[in-house]
Amino acid sequence: MFDHHIQVPVIATVVEGSTGRLDDYKGGVASVIRLVPSLPESALQGIEEFSHLEVVWHFSQGSDSDIELEPRSPRGNPDWPATGGLVHRNHRRPARIGISYPRLLRVEGRDLHVTDLDADAGTPIVDLAPVFAEMLPRGTVHQPPWPSDMLQDYWKNASERP
């Protein structure tokens, strides 16, 4: 289906955090990202000075059979417009890559304690970096109304789940 494949190393794993692949109520979940033993702990030196991380992870619980590129309504809701597979931000994308911006709470050796990471326990991390404000989108970010409607409960605290 795809012309080129690459190998990406796993640099860490989510060892504590949410489970169950929930679509919403991801807020307030404490997670631990543990650096793999083959990387030096010193690779994290200075990261504690930053409030947030950019974490690139793999939707490892999905499979190639989940990939869906043809237009469809998000979450199967006909009230939202059908959009192509590259417009969705879920496990049905070709590389099954997710990106999160959790708050860094503390560093303990190889463990990064974070909150609001929307990757489940067991998820492989392929990259992480501190968030630099200068690297965030410049200018006004525009989007249609449906993402805000769809994600209104996404960052609600898990304890608020009905």
Range of the domain at 109: 12-160
Does residue 1 lie within any of the structural domains?
A: no
How confident is the model at residue 161, as a pLDDT? 73
Q: Report how many domains make up the chain.
A: 1
CB-neighbour burial class of residue 157 (10 A; exposed 0-12, middle 13-18, buried 19+) = exposed
The CA distance from 79 to 142, in Å, is 20
pTM for this model (two decimals):
0.86
Element (H, E) at 113: strand 111-115
Element (H, E) at 138: none
Does residue 7 lie within any of the structural domains?
A: no
Does residue 118 lie within any of the structural domains?
A: yes
Does residue 5 lie within any of the structural domains?
A: no
How confident is the model at residue 66, as a pLDDT? 80
DSSP bridge pairs for 124 = 13
Structure tokens at 4: 């080129």
How confident is the model at residue 28, as a pLDDT? 76
Does residue 96 lie within any of the structural domains?
A: yes
DSSP 133: G
- The CATH number covering residue 76 comes to 2.40.30.70
Distances (CA, A) of 88 to 2, 50, 55: 18, 29, 18
Task: Note whether 16 and 30 are within 8 A (CB).
Answer: yes
The CA distance from 93 to 64, in Å, is 9
Does residue 92 lie within any of the structural domains?
A: yes
How confident is the model at residue 156, as a pLDDT? 80
How confident is the model at residue 23, as a pLDDT? 65
pLDDT averaged per 10 residues in sequence order, the chain, 162 residues: 80 84 69 97 97 93 80 86 82 83 97 93 96 93 90 78 72
